[in-house]
């Protein structure tokens, strides 16, 4: 727990003030400079104590983070039966399916490790840009954005003007023989020591703050992303839909959504197992993500359903996207346990209309999806407009 804030006074400052009050400094210039130093010392001491409290708070948070990392390390130890993917002799990368399936199974069972500790800085940056996260509200440290170590905070100089002037004063010959010389020298050295300690505490505090910012960036990304697929999750997509509707109303332009559902997904789980089912979901997610525009947003809407926002796309454009995705998924091959798994999807799509809420649009597109499934699956259907009702 953070230590309680100490008093801002200390014996050295108290003695210095007593020397001033007693008038033990006959030289007026010396007395004035000594008073300036005492005032600077007091300000630095108060600033030091305040920074110390803040630093202790960072340290407490860092200890909590270290505890979580220790728990994650315990999970990593379960990987001891999985050898390194690179041979230490020939440097070849393993290509046998059994190894990669065991490794993938481990991370599937511990998706929190894979995502919170395994995501690279480039992917964090890409996800922030893709999902429109507000980096002004929570700026990322350099290491999270560029992959390079964060620049060391500029350390405060170990001497300030007050300390330099007072040391020069101590060295002046006019000061020799003064009865308070030892007291002043001791005070000056204590001031310098405090200044160096304060500089070190500031540096440590900045380091904690940088680590916490990076951790917060990862945690925010986890909260807004589906761990299995890396796509936006349901709640992130709800916010994106609301934002897109607002933008559409301001600009007077339509937008469309596409809702895709994997056909006969239960059969995949029953035949190959749930881990194979997860692999299929990831494979289809990759296919959808790589076959839409950069400005489009793909999400895992729930289970084996995926929802895609197509900004400024009318109904014909959405239909073309649905046809393209249908064909791409049909040609997607998911290798598993020495066999190839192929699946299809059914798709419903629709376009926003003036005065139509997001819930109504989703409901109409969902009805279109079920129409596609009822018609035989592996096909797409457009949602009807209000004029058709």
Spell out the per-residue pLDDT of the chain, length 389, in tens: 444 444 445 666 666 666 666 666 556 666 777 777 777 777 877 887 887 787 777 777 777 777 776 766 666 565 555 555 666 556 666 666 566 666 666 666 655 554 444 556 666 666 666 655 544 444 444 444 444 444 444 454 566 777 777 777 666 644 556 666 677 777 777 777 877 877 777 777 777 777 777 777 777 777 788 888 889 999 999 999 999 999 999 999 999 999 999 999 999 999 999 999 999 999 999 999 999 999 999 999 999 999 999 999 999 999 999 999 999 999 999 999 889 999 999 999 999 998 899 999 999 999 999 999 999 999 999 998 766 65
Q: Tell me the two tokens of residue 118.
A: 């395994």
Q: Tell me the two tokens of residue 306.
A: 């995926």
pLDDT of residue 139: 47
pLDDT of residue 371: 96
Domains defined for the chain, CATH in brackets: 1-224 (no CATH), 234-388 (3.30.70.270)
Phi, psi of 328 (to 5 degrees): -65, -45
pLDDT of residue 2: 46
What is the Cα–Cα distance from 338 to 245, expressed in whole angstroms? Answer: 45
Residue 257, strand partner residues: 309, 350
**Is 207 buried (19+), middle (13-18) or exposed (0-12) by CB count in 10 A?**
middle
Residue with tokens 């400079």: 33
* Helix H or strand E encompassing 349: strand 345-351
What is the Cα–Cα distance from 64 to 70, expressed in whole angstroms? Answer: 10
What is the Cα–Cα distance from 366 to 191, expressed in whole angstroms? Answer: 72
Q: Tell me the two tokens of residue 380.
A: 């797409």
pLDDT of residue 141: 47
Q: Tell me the two tokens of residue 19.
A: 């020397």
pLDDT of residue 177: 62
Backbone Cα Rg of the chain: 32
Dihedral of the CA atoms 52, 54, 56, 58 (nearest 10)?
Answer: -140
**C-alpha 309, offset from chain centre:** 24
Q: Tell me the two tokens of residue 217.
A: 């960036």
* Helix H or strand E encompassing 347: strand 345-351
């Amino acid at each position: 727990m953070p230590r309680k804030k100490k008093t801002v006074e200390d014996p050295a400052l108290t003695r210095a003030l007593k020397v001033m009050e007693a008038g033990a400094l006959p030289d007026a210039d010396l007395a004035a400079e000594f008073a300036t130093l005492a005032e600077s010392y007091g300000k630095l001491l108060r600033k030091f104590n305040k920074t110390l409290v803040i630093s202790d708070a960072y340290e407490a948070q860092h200890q909590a983070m270290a505890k979580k990392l220790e728990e994650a390390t315990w999970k990593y130890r379960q990987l001891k039966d999985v050898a390194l993917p690179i041979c230490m002799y020939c440097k070849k990368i393993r290509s046998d399916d059994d190894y990669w399936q065991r490794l993938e199974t481990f991370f599937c069972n511990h998706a929190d490790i894979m995502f919170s500790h395994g995501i690279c800085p480039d992917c964090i940056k890409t996800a922030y840009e893709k999902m429109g996260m507000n980096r002004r509200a929570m700026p990322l440290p350099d290491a999270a954005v560029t992959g390079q170590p964060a620049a060391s905070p500029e350390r405060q100089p170990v001497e300030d003007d007050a300390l330099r002037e007072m040391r020069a004063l101590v060295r002046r010959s006019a000061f020799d023989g003064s009865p308070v010389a030892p007291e002043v020298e001791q005070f000056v050295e204590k001031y310098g020591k405090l200044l160096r300690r304060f500089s070190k505490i500031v540096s440590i505090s900045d380091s904690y703050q940088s680590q916490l910012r990076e951790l917060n960036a990862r945690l925010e990304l986890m909260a807004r992303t589906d761990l299995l697929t890396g796509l936006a999750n349901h709640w992130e997509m709800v916010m994106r839909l609301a934002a897109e509707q607002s933008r559409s109303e301001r600009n007077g332009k339509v937008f469309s959504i596409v809702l895709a559902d994997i056909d006969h997904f239960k059969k995949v789980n029953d035949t190959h197992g749930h881990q194979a089912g997860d692999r299929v979901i990831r494979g289809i997610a990759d296919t959808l993500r790589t076959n839409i525009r950069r400005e489009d947003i793909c999400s895992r809407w729930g289970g084996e359903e995926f929802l895609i926002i197509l900004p400024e796309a009318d109904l014909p454009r959405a239909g073309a996207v649905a046809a393209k995705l249908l064909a791409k998924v049909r040609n997607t091959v998911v290798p598993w346990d020495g066999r190839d798994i192929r699946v299809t999807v059914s798709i419903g799509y629709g376009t926003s209309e003036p005065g139509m809420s997001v819930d109504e649009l989703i409901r109409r597109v969902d009805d279109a999806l079920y129409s596609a499934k009822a018609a035989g699956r592996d096909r797409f259907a457009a949602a009807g407009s209000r004029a058709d009702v």
